[in-house]
Chains A and B, each alone.
Chain A
């Protein structure tokens, strides 16, 4: 009880240093939280794009349904093929009609000819980066012979897809590196701030030592104090992020900023609010407790030589 009470009293008395330590911790926690959300949002964006990507194999009209099903079976054995669907000529036509429902002229043109559209196999890849495996497989002469046209990668978007995947991968890596660097830097700053707070009270520590205070009795209040920094910083940082989203959604008409889908980020944050708050509080308290534990160590050592 006394230890907790002393910690709280110290926190109030050392207001200026407390604010300095908390400012650093708030910035760190905010960046960490923001990176988490940004990362989730990027992942979501990538997933949305990649979900739309598939490989289409166009079959010659001479290929029988049986042969086509055989090919589908073979393609399903491919490791990177998540889903293989076969659409016969009629289904493709029906789809085409649906997609172009507004374009009367086009529909009329299709109606006037006998169905010009080829039966199609759609292959949804498991891993976009390994789409080449499927491509190589489709290059096999016996399969190639069945194809009416070269397979399309979502309407030859392959290159664009590659670019997006590449870009988002880099963004994600930058995000992770940034979080790590900010984490280390802020841990050091927090550690230093707390050490400064302790340095300011080294006389007090020395007196407590001479009066026979135990190590935990001296250290306890410092750790409680730092844990309060962590707790408050976590709450403030979550509130800041919350405020940013509220402001962004009310002032910005656009729901995306470049690759960052604000709409999704907001829902993601809202749905995980309590998880984030708990997580931030835990991280804040652990950082505070750990750095003050280490910072007090050198002032609590006994001379042994």
Chain B
């Protein structure tokens, strides 16, 4: 599903590479947690996957798409196949919960009728039924993040990338979000989660990839947090 082969990313030649020959293979339906300190390269890794940044060297193949052969005009098509959740939610502040989720479908030209059919189902998955008409500022952080997750999965992507989705949340809300991610994973979506939260990593007992100074220094199944 995700294949990285000796991927390097250098922002500034004087500072050395942010990612240094990273190789990673993620199977379909896997739940992988990427851990590492701030500046270790986690965010850079995710930005390469969503093609916000372009790798300086190595190969990235996701769902059969070779990033080297992907023309710029097809980047939107790639992003439609990957769901992304951000630490700062990135909801549209002047749209309601329903509109924010529907927006992801409007972009790809889904009919109004289908939107009315699909969005409530997805809001149900993230336990937000009844809050369709709220504006983002009326929601708690955990609720906002679940709206963002609903938006990310409404197009039924094969891969969901969650970049520190619990970073701004208190433990209770963080767990709400993690439970939703697990549920989505059970439905068959590959989940790639980055986090700082030791407790979450230890309780989830999933595959953990540790990044340090731009290199993978640990990759173990059913692991706990150790730096």
Nearest CB of chain B from residue A284's CB, rounded to whole Å = 27
Residues of B near A273 (CB, < 8 A) are none
**A214: which B residues are within 8 A, CB to CB?**
76, 107
Residue of A nearest to B90 (CB): A207
Segment among A37-45, A59-67, A230-238, A297-305 that sits at the interface with chain B: A297-305
Q: Does A210 contact B (CB under 8 A)?
A: yes
Task: Judge whether B25 is part of the interface by a CB distance below 8 angstroms.
Answer: no
Q: A2 within 8 Å of B by Cβ?
A: yes
* A contact residues, range: 10 to 19
Q: Does the CB pair A2–B106 fall under 8 Å?
A: yes
Known: A217-B107, A304-B72. A212 touches B79 (CB 8 A): yes
B21 proximity list for chain A (CB < 8 A): none
Contacting pair B151 A211 (CB below 8 A): yes
The SS class assigned to the A binding surface is helix
**Interface residues in A207-245 (C-beta closer than 8 Å to B):** 207-215, 217
Alpha-carbon distance between A203 and B53 when the two chains are bound, in angstroms: 17
Contact of A302 among B72, B86, B104 (CB under 8 A): B72
Q: Is B77 an interface residue when CB atoms closer than 8 A count as contact?
A: yes
A206 to B53, CA, bound (A): 14
Residues from 2 to 41 in B contacting A, C-beta threshold 8 Å: none
**Residue on B with the closest CB to A305?**
B54
Q: Is the CB of B84 within 8 A of A210?
A: yes
Contacting residue for A212 out of B78, B86, B94, CB 8 A: B78
Instruction: Give the residue name and chain of the A residue nearest to B56 (CB).
Output: A305
Q: How far is the CA of A302 from the CA of B77 in the complex (A)?
A: 13
- A270 proximal to B (CB < 8 A): no
A139: Cβ under 8 A from any B Cβ: no
From B53, B79, B80, A303 is in contact (CB under 8 Å) with: B53
- The closest CB in chain B to the CB of A1 belongs to B112
Q: How distant is the Cα of A215 from the Cα of B79 in the complex, in angstroms?
A: 13
With both chains docked as a complex, state the minimum distance between the C-beta of A71 and any C-beta of chain B, in angstroms.
77
Whether the pair B52, A212 counts as a contact (CB closer than 8 A) is no
Chain B residues within 8 Å of chain A by Cβ, number:
25
A82 lies within 8 A of chain B by Cβ: no
How many A-B residue contacts, CB cutoff 8 Å? Answer: 48
From A212, A302, A304, A305, B107 is in contact (CB under 8 Å) with A212
A-side contacts of B77, CB under 8 Å: 212
Chain A proximity mask over B165-188: 1 for CB below 8 Å, otherwise 0: 000000000000000000000000
| Interface flag for B217 (CB, 8 Å) | no
In the complex, are the beta carbons of A210 and B107 less than 8 A apart?
A: no
Cβ–Cβ contact A210 & B104, under 8 A: no
Give the distance to chain B from A265, nearest Cβ to Cβ, in Å: 47
Residue of A nearest to B78 (CB): A212
B contact residues around A98 at 8 Å (CB): none
C-alpha gap A211/B94 in the complex (Å):
17
Q: Determine if B75 is an interface residue (Cβ-Cβ < 8 Å).
A: yes
Given the known inter-chain contacts A13-B94, A204-B92, A303-B52, please indicate yes or no for A211 contacting B79, CB distance below 8 A.
yes
Determine if A210 and B79 form an interchain contact, defined as CB atoms under 8 angstroms apart.
yes
CA distance A160 to B102 in the complex (A): 75
Bound-state CA distance A210–B86 (Å) is: 10
B50 close to A (CB within 8 Å) = yes
Q: Given that A210-B52, A217-B107 are contacting pairs, would A302 and B75 also be in contact in the complex, using a CB cutoff of 8 Å?
A: yes
Instruction: State how many angstroms separate the Cβ of B50 from the closest Cβ of chain A.
Output: 7
CA distance A303 to B79 in the complex (A): 14
- Say yes or no for B198: interface residue by CB 8 A criterion: no
The reply on B225 being an interface residue by CB < 8 A is: no
- What 0/1 readout, one digit per residue, does chain B (105-134) give for beta carbons within 8 Å of chain A? 011100000000000000000000000000
Contact A304 B54 (CB under 8 A): yes
Residues on B with beta carbons closer than 8 Å to the beta carbon of A212: 75-80, 107-108
Known: A211-B107, A212-B107, A213-B107. 20 other contacts (CB 8 A): A13-B94, A203-B90, A207-B91, A207-B92, A208-B103, A209-B76, A210-B50, A210-B79, A210-B90, A211-B79, A211-B80, A211-B104, A212-B78, A213-B76, A214-B76, A217-B107, A302-B72, A302-B75, A303-B53, A305-B54
Instruction: Name 11 interchain pairs, CB-CB below 8 A, sorted by A.
Output: A13-B94, A204-B92, A207-B91, A209-B79, A210-B90, A211-B151, A213-B76, A214-B76, A214-B107, A302-B72, A302-B75
